[in-house]
Structure 1
Amino acid sequence: MNWAILIVSGAMEAVWAVALERAEGFTKLIPSIIFIVALAASMFGLSHAVRSIPLGTAYAVWVGIGATLTVVYSMVTGIEPFSWFKVALLAGLVGCVIGLKLVHGA
């Protein structure tokens, strides 16, 4: 269950990262509210997950999920240019996150 919470909180990290960019220095109300709610949910989920998942592993998985989803979203929406090199690097990052999960169980 804690792994599922960690994955969702990693996704919430991507939500708050995108909302932070859209908030334009907290001058836009709705993106600012989304940022605050997603940030709180993300931090709560991470804090819950580290009760049973080692901190280093949980943090790396959380950041990896958030970073990957943020970059993918940015490329899909045109915020940043698409690159196959970025896709390959993201695949490596996802592979490392999966590896951390597998090593945790060993």
Structure 2
Amino acid sequence: MNTAWIILVIAGLLEVGWALGLKASAGFTRPLPSLLTVIAMMASFFLLAQAMKSLPVGTAYAIWVGIGAIGTALFGILLYGDSANPLRLASLVLIFAGLVGLKLAG
């Protein structure tokens, strides 16, 4: 795995962090979670931009969003009691399969 892919994965993980941070910030009314959320957003966007220097834009963006969507959904289930019904979990597996397909088609 080359550096651009590693950077992209980190950017996606930061997207999970800022998505969860949005909830923790309570609409940006809590200062520390709000600050950490904005920092994670900026870092995530910066790293996405760096990865896009050498990766196809559509692939990079889809992987970034996919990591964010899957990670946020799983943490929502674990931390906030979001629904974990079979259809929802199967849908997350399908998103993951699509991400793997994009990487393999690379």
TM-score (normalizing by structure 1): 0.94
Residue of structure 2 in register with 1:99 after alignment: 101
2:20 corresponds to 1:18: yes
* 2:71 corresponds to which of 58, 69, 72: 69
Q: Is the 8 A contact 1:5 1:45 kept in 2?
A: yes
Instruction: Give the superposition deviation at 1:78.
Output: 3.1
Q: Distance in 2 between matches of 1:79 and 1:41?
A: 28
Tell me the alpha carbon deviations over residues 46-91 of structure 1, each in whole angstroms, 9 at most, x when there is no partner: 0000000010110000000000000000011234122121111101
User: Given residue 41 of structure 2, which amino acid in structure 1 is its aligned partner?
Assistant: L
The residue correspondences of 1:1-106 to structure 2 (distance < 5 A) are 1-104=3-106
* Aligned sequence identity (%): 38
Helix, strand or coil at the partner of 2:54: coil
Aligned residues: 104
Q: Which runs of 5+ in 2 are unaligned?
A: none
Q: Which runs of 5+ in 1 are unaligned?
A: none
Q: Is the 8 A contact 1:76 1:82 kept in 2?
A: no
Helix, strand or coil at the partner of 1:32: helix
4+ aligned runs moved over 3 Å, structure 1: none
TM-score (normalizing by structure 2): 0.94
